[in-house]
Amino acid sequence: MIIDCRLRPPARGFLNLSLFRDTERTKRMSRCFGMPQAPSTAQRSTELLLKEMDSAGITMGVVPGRRAYPFLGGVSNEDIVAIMNDYPGRFLGVAGIDPTNRQEALDEIDTYVKNGPLVGVGMEPGLLPTPMYPNDRRIYPIYEKLEAEGIPLLLMAGGGNGPDLSYGFPAILDQIAADFPKMTIINTHGGYPYVTEVLFVAYKRPNIYICPDMYLFNFPGWQDYVTAANGFLQDRFLFGTAYPFIPLEEGVAHFKNMPFKPEVLPKLLYKNIATALKLDLPENL
């Protein structure tokens, strides 16, 4: 079994994102990671994606809603629920929220996660029309609710998560994790390029899970991620492709060929994300 921790399918509102509006741009991004473009991306086909998931052995993908500035585009939580209903059992939805509209964000957490089918909340505050740092105190009431309700947070903190690199500096993640020690934080983009720094933060803060997703593939620093996953982070390291940037079959093959210890692979591929998202999976998998 494999659960992809960050997968954006070519369906509904995702088709309006820059990822699928400009597939030539996405292809160039894939080449940066030494990867070809998946046929499902080029053809903007969810049916092809499902076949690629099956060929790669990916049972489910975690699909996040998005609130971002106009070029990137957004995906509503209604669309995330609809995608789950369109393809039962294949996708796990995460509610995307806009922390600049706090009351709306709190209401959507209640509607779509606490009282709905989605399994977590996702935020990319540095990508909003008016960028925010993830530790902006205006976001703290949202973190307080997530901690109180036991709802996991997927926080994009790394990669291009803001107008400059300061938005992904791991000291920000460290502060949030310290201020909300009972909130599960899944750090997508794995704090890149601050690899050793974010790994030390995860060493300090047991409520942080690390998902480097596309930055694990043929990018400098991958060896440090592997070292951590083989050791202290083996229960909090997650597999993800950031599809459509990393094609699924090539991504899974590449991941399995990396020097992970055989005994930790099941944790990395599905057990850890099941724990982080509180999924009810059979124990004999």
Note the pLDDT tens digit of each residue in 58-68.
Answer: 999 999 999 88
Q: Give all strands (DSSP E) within 67-152, no chain letters.
A: 91-96, 121-123
| Close Cβ partners of 243 (under 8 Å, ≥ 6 residues apart) | 4, 6, 7, 8, 9, 38, 41, 49, 61, 251
**Rounded Cα–Cα distance for residues 189 and 241 (Å):** 10
Does the pLDDT value for residue 205 go beyond 90?
Answer: yes
**Rounded Cα–Cα distance for residues 29 and 23 (Å):** 10
In a domain, 283, yes or no: no
pLDDT, tens digit, 9 for 90 and up, residues 119-136: 999 999 999 999 999 999
Q: Contact, 207 vs 183, CB < 8 A?
A: yes
Residue 256's identity, in one-letter code, is: K
Does the pLDDT value for residue 283 go beyond 70?
Answer: no
pTM: 0.96
Which residue is listed with tokens 């229960």?
A: 235
In a domain, 126, yes or no: yes
In a domain, 282, yes or no: no
For the chain, helix (H) and strand (E) counts, in that order, are 13, 7
Count of alpha carbons within 13 Å of 170, Cβ hemisphere only?
Answer: 20
In a domain, 38, yes or no: yes
In a domain, 82, yes or no: yes
At 129 the three-state DSSP class reads coil
Q: Contact, 251 vs 35, CB < 8 A?
A: yes
In a domain, 163, yes or no: yes
Does the pLDDT value for residue 246 go beyond 90?
Answer: yes
Nearest CA to 63 out of 8, 134, 137 is that of 8
Q: How many domains does the chain have?
A: 1
In a domain, 198, yes or no: yes
What is the dihedral sign for C-alpha 23, 220, 136, 8?
positive
At 154 the three-state DSSP class reads strand
In a domain, 285, yes or no: no
Per-residue model confidence (pLDDT) at position 37: 97
**Rounded Cα–Cα distance for residues 235 and 46 (Å):** 31
**Rounded Cα–Cα distance for residues 180 and 176 (Å):** 6
Residue-range definition of the domain harbouring residue 58: 3-276
CATH number at residue 204: 3.20.20.140
Does the pLDDT value for residue 73 go beyond 90?
Answer: no
pLDDT, tens digit, 9 for 90 and up, residues 186-196: 999 999 999 99
